[in-house]
A and B are shown apart, each in its own frame.
Chain A
Amino acid sequence: MSEVRVGVFVCHCGTNIGGFLDVPGLAKYALSLPHVVFSQDNLYTCSEAGLTEIKNAIAKKKLNRVVVASCTPRTHEPLFRSTCKEAGLNPYLFQFVNIRDQCSWVHMQDRERATEKAKALIRMGVARAVLLRPLEETEVEVNPCALVIGGGIAGMTSALSLANLDFEVKLVEKENRLGGTLNSLYKLYPTHEEASKLVQSKTEEIEKNSKIEVLTSSEVKEVKGFIGNYDVTVRQGEKERLFKVGVIIVATGAETLKPAGMYGYDGETVITQMELERMLKEGKFDADTVVMIQCVGARNEKRVYCSKVCCPTALKNAMLIKEANPDAQVFVLYRDMVTHGTKYEDYYGKARETGITFIKYSPERQPVVENGSVRVYDELLDEELSLPYDLVVLSTPMVAHNDSADLAQKLKVPVDEYGFFLEAHVKLRPVDFATDGIYMCGCAHWPANVGESVSQAYGAASRASIPLSVGHVKTEPLIAVVDEDECSGCGLCELTCPFKAIRIEETEKGRKAKVIAASCKGCGACGAGCPEKAITMQHFTDKQLLAQVIPLAEVIS
């Protein structure tokens, strides 16, 4: 092995680290470690200037290992790996040390001990870096076909987008027709266009598009594979069909909570907004006094969130009632009127002008629906009111479908505590899953109105089209490797792996374990269990992990 030359870059991260640890001291300490030939402290290592420093140091100091001590590898490892690559250094010869999220930010009151800990972490990082080996990525082809699960407005929009970009699309819909929630809606806010018209125009566009194959009354039964190479089994009645796709978009929408046991819900005189829409759509509405109650089953201890769409929906339906019957009395009992932005604030204004009465109630004194009237304490008037009604309409939140968890399991993707699909990053990757090649949009992600669902659908299509356009995907070489001389062919690894990425095969040396690189996720479950210790986990070998096992006493001494 030629000489190992390590460069260590310690970041101030503005004052995020520099304000709590002795960063220059850490850089100095790093230089004292074996194999470290260069160290530096930077204000922001991830900035253009910082990255340039790294590249310059690699060239000038002939570094063959780079260690950055800063924030977290979960956001910044790819950046520094690319930087190393650009400077001609294999990206897997880079090591990240987390001295911010797991040090400076959590030990803000103890500079000395925090700095000591950071020293130890840097020492651990350098020790590991010395043992890293260059690894090469491999490429896999991407099947130029997309699967869209869900044929509502989000699913239809993303399917059309991908088809317009010239990719094959399989659009799978559980019901017997496209349209999703729009099929249950009457008119859409804020323009009061008819939902059915929108569904019709989108459906026609889809039917005309030869690139989209629509499978209604169909469900996804099984998903195998990985980005670029998903094998999806779709069940349609008795038939099962297997599709090979490159990417998957989840657009399965959401449903509205049925307020069983709340406010005397009975589906006849106390109904949901959805049921009201059906009444209005079918021309069966004939009440004279309507009381709407917002936040039913939402913004409480069990379901903390605000479902966003219920306030504009109530306004819409209240205005449609007034249109149908100008003499109707409509009361909207609300906690906060959630009408964001340029379009919905105006909408609220319009609603007030039609004579709808708005009554603010507090969660501590909920309205009570009695026989024929609703008792409510009006916070702004400081008065208890009794509102007679013909119809009570409850605005309930959107909730995840019962089977969303099931689909999540099939796709091996996470859901949040409410059953909505969980994105890779709340701010910067809102329509991506952490798993490559799978994306989401619409109410499957979080309650959204039509405009938002459409934006997200275009967004998901954009993200999905990247691997489709490029045509191939690079796979990370962090996988299991079998030493066939040590392997006894016992098969425990095959039993352990949930991805079927390691299997026993007959070879001339007998039964041996073989790794399918493209499927291997590098978790290490097989490696840590192999009775013969015949499996090495690349980039996380026993030696590399053990190098980090350093008692603090050694660091301090």
Chain B
Amino acid sequence: MILQESFEPDILGFLCNWCSYAGADLAGVSRFQYPPNLRIIRVMCSARVDPTIVLEAFIRGLDGVMVLGCHPGDCHYMTGNYYTERRIKTTKKVLKSVELSPERLLVDWVSASEGERFATLVTDFIGRVRKLGPLGNEIDLEPQQLKTRLTAAKEAFAQQRIRWLVGRERELVEDKNVFGDKVSQEEFDQLMLQTVEKEFAKRRILLSMGGDSFSVREIAQTVGASPKEVLRNIVSLERDGLVSVVGIEGNSPKYRKTGGR
């Protein structure tokens, strides 16, 4: 895709009432100028930002998303920004799976007294997204295909598995489980990455299936994955109760969506 010369990125920011939103206000009060590419949505805490909302923003065509909270240790709600960091960093992983640049999603911290820093942060982010180009510039996909991928990502983040894992990270990594085991950060990160990739792949498969029944080979062709991977994921989806076998064509079973969540 060719980068238009006058491309102006369209960016949404989710800012928390107590710190970053106040910092943005202070930028205004102090008249620190920045480009008008950013529109701010106010939340009480950055932890309110469900990754599915961020992914929906990309589905609707936003070129960049910022989630800004209080500095670690300063969250008005004590630990909110910890969850924000975990959630948004995990969302960046799925952007990678979608093959979009994770640089389009920023999570950072701005305090109520950092008006100048806010203006600089925003200006820099707008600059980086401008260089990346419009959403999808970095891959060769039809807009509808990109949308489908992002939808799969969003649906993956709406499922229990990723949400459960993200929410329990602190407990798993910092405290011990009932058996006295602890998971190291590296192990956890690896587990998280695998889970994100797998859940994304599964949702892609589901989305590609429409109302009909499909064989593994057919699905593999549509989503551009190997039949072996697709088979593994189909089996997982079957266990989840989301697909079932409805017939056989030659040697291949035909699967159909069952209409779960």
A492 to B45, CA, bound (A): 18
Chain B residues close to A by CB (< 8 Å): 10, 12, 17-18, 21-22, 24-25, 27-29, 31-36, 39-45, 47-50, 52-53, 56-57, 60-62, 74, 76-80, 83, 87, 113, 119, 158-160, 163-164, 166-168, 171
- Chain A residues near B52 (CB-CB < 8 A): 542
A542 to B35, CA, bound (A): 28
Which of chain A's residues 81-130 have a Cβ closer than 8 Å to chain B?
Answer: 98, 100-103, 105-110, 113-114, 116-117, 120-121, 124
Cβ B24 vs Cβ A101 within 8 A: yes
Cβ B167 vs Cβ A495 within 8 A: yes
Residue A284, interface by CB 8 Å: no
A119 to B35, CA, bound (A): 16
With an 8 Å Cβ cutoff, the count of chain A residues facing the other chain is 55
Q: Looking at the complex, which one of B29, B41, B47, B158 makes contact with A105 (CB distance below 8 Å)?
A: B29
- What is the minimal beta-carbon distance from A501 to any residue of chain B, in angstroms? 10
- Chain B residues near A106 (CB-CB < 8 A): 27-28, 31-34, 36, 119
A335 to B168, CA, bound (A): 56
Cβ A523 vs Cβ B60 within 8 A: no
8 contacts between A and B (CB under 8 A): A105-B31, A106-B36, A117-B39, A434-B76, A499-B77, A528-B87, A540-B48, A545-B41
Which of B31, B44, B119 neighbours the largest number of chain A CB atoms within 10 Å of its CB? B44
Which of B40, B53, B167 neighbours the largest number of chain A CB atoms within 10 Å of its CB? B167
A98 to B24, CA, bound (A): 11
Which of A478, A499, A532, A549 neighbours the largest number of chain B CB atoms within 10 Å of its CB? A549
Cβ A529 vs Cβ B57 within 8 A: no
Cβ B43 vs Cβ A524 within 8 A: yes
Cβ A527 vs Cβ B45 within 8 A: no
Q: Looking at the complex, which one of B42, B78, B159, B167 makes contact with A529 (CB distance below 8 Å)?
A: B167
Cβ B61 vs Cβ A551 within 8 A: yes
A521 to B29, CA, bound (A): 28
A495 to B167, CA, bound (A): 8
Cβ A107 vs Cβ B33 within 8 A: yes
Question: A525: nearest residue on chain B (CB-CB)?
Answer: B47
- Chain B residues near A121 (CB-CB < 8 A): 39
B-side interface mostly = mixed
Residue A304, interface by CB 8 Å: no
Question: A104: nearest residue on chain B (CB-CB)?
Answer: B28
**Known A524-B45, A525-B77, A545-B43: A102·B24 in contact at CB below 8 Å:** yes
- What is the minimal beta-carbon distance from A544 to any residue of chain B, in angstroms? 10
- What is the minimal beta-carbon distance from B167 to any residue of chain A, in angstroms? 5
- What is the minimal beta-carbon distance from B37 to any residue of chain A, in angstroms? 8
- What is the minimal beta-carbon distance from A71 to any residue of chain B, in angstroms? 9
- What is the minimal beta-carbon distance from A130 to any residue of chain B, in angstroms? 16
- Chain A residues near B80 (CB-CB < 8 A): 523-525
Cβ B44 vs Cβ A542 within 8 A: no
A121 to B158, CA, bound (A): 28
**Known A528-B47, A549-B57: A101·B29 in contact at CB below 8 Å:** yes
Which of chain A's residues 177-222 have a Cβ closer than 8 Å to chain B?
Answer: none
- Chain A residues near B45 (CB-CB < 8 A): 523-525
A552 to B12, CA, bound (A): 10
- What is the minimal beta-carbon distance from A46 to any residue of chain B, in angstroms? 16
Residue A475, interface by CB 8 Å: no
Cβ B56 vs Cβ A546 within 8 A: yes
Cβ A540 vs Cβ B57 within 8 A: no
For the complex of A and B, list the 4 residue pairs with the smallest distance between their C-beta atoms, beginning with the closest. Answer: A524-B48, A101-B28, A523-B45, A525-B47
Per-residue B-contact encoding for A514-555, CB less than 8 Å = 1, 0 else: 000000011111011111110001001010011011111100
Q: Looking at the complex, which one of B25, B43, B44, B87 makes contact with A72 (CB distance below 8 Å)?
A: B25
Residue A496, interface by CB 8 Å: yes
A113 to B24, CA, bound (A): 18
Residue A388, interface by CB 8 Å: no
Question: B83: nearest residue on chain A (CB-CB)?
Answer: A525
- Chain A residues near B10 (CB-CB < 8 A): 551-553
Q: Looking at the complex, which one of A117, A528, A546, A551 makes contact with B62 (CB distance below 8 Å)?
A: A551
Cβ A549 vs Cβ B56 within 8 A: yes
- Chain B residues near A466 (CB-CB < 8 A): none
A528 to B79, CA, bound (A): 14
14 additional A-B pairs beyond A106-B34, A533-B158, beta carbons within 8 Å, are: A103-B28, A103-B36, A109-B33, A113-B36, A492-B164, A495-B167, A523-B48, A523-B76, A524-B47, A524-B48, A525-B47, A529-B167, A551-B61, A552-B39
Question: A532: nearest residue on chain B (CB-CB)?
Answer: B160
**Known A492-B164, A549-B56, A549-B62: A74·B43 in contact at CB below 8 Å:** no
Q: Looking at the complex, which one of A108, A434, A521 makes contact with B77 (CB distance below 8 Å)?
A: A521
- What is the minimal beta-carbon distance from B33 to any residue of chain A, in angstroms? 6
A400 to B25, CA, bound (A): 28
Cβ B18 vs Cβ A525 within 8 A: no
Cβ A414 vs Cβ B74 within 8 A: yes
Question: B170: nearest residue on chain A (CB-CB)?
Answer: A495
- Chain B residues near A521 (CB-CB < 8 A): 44, 77
A416 to B119, CA, bound (A): 21
- What is the minimal beta-carbon distance from A490 to any residue of chain B, in angstroms? 7
- What is the minimal beta-carbon distance from B183 to any residue of chain A, in angstroms? 16
- What is the minimal beta-carbon distance from B89 to any residue of chain A, in angstroms? 14
Residue A412, interface by CB 8 Å: yes
A533 to B12, CA, bound (A): 23
- Chain A residues near B25 (CB-CB < 8 A): 72, 74, 98, 101-102
Cβ A548 vs Cβ B41 within 8 A: yes
- What is the minimal beta-carbon distance from A91 to any residue of chain B, in angstroms? 16
- Chain B residues near A416 (CB-CB < 8 A): 113
Residue A73, interface by CB 8 Å: yes
- What is the minimal beta-carbon distance from A10 to any residue of chain B, in angstroms? 16
- Chain B residues near A102 (CB-CB < 8 A): 24-25, 28, 40
- Chain A residues near B87 (CB-CB < 8 A): 528-529
Question: A488: nearest residue on chain B (CB-CB)?
Answer: B160
- Chain A residues near B164 (CB-CB < 8 A): 490, 492, 531
**Known A525-B77, A528-B83, A529-B166: A116·B36 in contact at CB below 8 Å:** yes
A254 to B242, CA, bound (A): 63
Cβ B40 vs Cβ A98 within 8 A: yes
Which of A109, A116, A414 neighbours the largest number of chain B CB atoms within 10 Å of its CB? A414
**Known A528-B48, A528-B87, A530-B163: A549·B74 in contact at CB below 8 Å:** no
- What is the minimal beta-carbon distance from A222 to any residue of chain B, in angstroms? 14
- Chain A residues near B48 (CB-CB < 8 A): 523-525, 527-528, 537, 540, 545
Cβ A492 vs Cβ B36 within 8 A: no
- Chain A residues near B159 (CB-CB < 8 A): 531
- Chain A residues near B12 (CB-CB < 8 A): 549
A109 to B43, CA, bound (A): 28
**Known A116-B36, A523-B44, A528-B87: A74·B61 in contact at CB below 8 Å:** no
Cβ B168 vs Cβ A492 within 8 A: yes
Question: A16: nearest residue on chain B (CB-CB)?
Answer: B28
Q: Looking at the complex, which one of B18, B44, B83 makes contact with A496 (CB distance below 8 Å)?
A: B83
- Chain B residues near A542 (CB-CB < 8 A): 50, 52-53
